[in-house]
Amino acid sequence: MKQIWALIPLKNFARAKTRLAGALGAEVRRALTLAMARDVVAALASSRAVTRVILVSDIPHLENLIDIDGVGYFNTGLAQGLNEDLTTAARWAGTQGATDVLIAHGDLPQLTSQAIDRFILGAGRSTEYKVRAAACKEGSGTNLLFAPLPLPLPLVFGKNSLAGFHQAAAEAGMAIEVVRDSVLETDIDELADLKALAAAHARGEFVGAATAALLLSTMKARPTTSAAKCSKRHPVSAIF
């Protein structure tokens, strides 16, 4: 019987979402990063296909910050880098009984348990592919990766990671199945992504509870136009 463990890498919140630094101050970026991570964890914890959810990080007491029952924590200690830490965590998960891993990034605030189950269960319909990847909206990055253990190819998350995974798979003599799904594509990296998320929430589209609450609270605290112009770094509400 498959034991599918979800691994969620999270780096120090103070260094997270630096591409939003021109628009959002450090405290707001931290709150946004934590809210999105909570929503990703909640979706994975509600998935029927996922057996266990593990946070992969060196953030002290991260499980208390996430505050969702049943979530595990793999402390990376002296972090070696995203791919190295995830590889070590995946190897450890295999020693604990995991048969497969689902690596999911923590900035997918519209992720749902249904989308996760579709992504995982769809992998069992074809014997041609060992690895399944969910592309980002630009088609260059990898938001989720589903693979058996031990990992059949090296992890190459980072810029243009999808091309990197295709190359690694080709070198290993295998193929990767790439999934395009509007829910799985919605990562938040740029200011335009955040504006699109706020617009989706305003239209009544699903946004995870923690992120939606942050958007709502900041909208209530919207500064005046003159006050917003005085600062280069605004709270979330000031940029919409």
What CATH number should be reported for the domain holding residue 20? 3.90.550.10
Residue 98 maps to a domain: yes
Which pLDDT does position 232 carry in this prediction? 46
Helix (H) or strand (E) holding 122: helix 113-122
Residue 128 resides in a domain: yes
Residue 184 lies in a domain: no
Q: How far apart are CA 128 and CA 114, in angstroms?
A: 24
Average pLDDT of the chain, as a whole number: 88
Task: Tell me the mean pLDDT in the region 191-212.
Answer: 95
* Mean pLDDT confidence for 107-112: 97
Q: How far is CA 56 from the centre of its chain?
A: 12
Q: Which of 131, 152, 179 is the last residue of a domain?
A: 179
Q: Do 133 and 219 belong together in one domain?
A: no
Do 212 and 112 share a structural domain? no
Q: Tokens for 26?
A: 């450090």
Domain count, the chain: 2
23, 115: one domain: yes
For residue 1, what pLDDT band results from cuts at 50, 70 and 90?
A: confident
Same domain, 79 and 102: yes
Q: Supply the pLDDT for residue 220.
A: 57
Q: What proportion of the chain, given as a percentage, has pLDDT over 90?
A: 71
| pLDDT value of position 87 | 97
**Whole-number percent of the chain with pLDDT over 70:** 87
Residue 226 has pLDDT above 80, yes or no: no
pLDDT higher at 176 or 232: 176
Full domain range(s) for residue 122: 4-179
Residues 113 and 202 in one domain: no
* CB atoms closer than 10 angstroms to residue 208: 22
| One domain, residues 195 and 175 | no
CA distances, 46 to each of 39, 43, 114, 213 (Å): 11, 5, 9, 19
Integer CA distances (angstroms), 121 to 104, 180, 210, in order: 16, 15, 27
Written as one string, the DSSP assignment of 33-62 is HHHHHHHHHHHHHH-SS--EEEEEE--TTH
Question: Three-class SS of residue 232?
Answer: coil
* Pair 46, 109 in one domain: yes
Q: pTM, whole model, 2 decimals?
A: 0.90
Q: What's the average model confidence in pLDDT over 3-28? A: 89
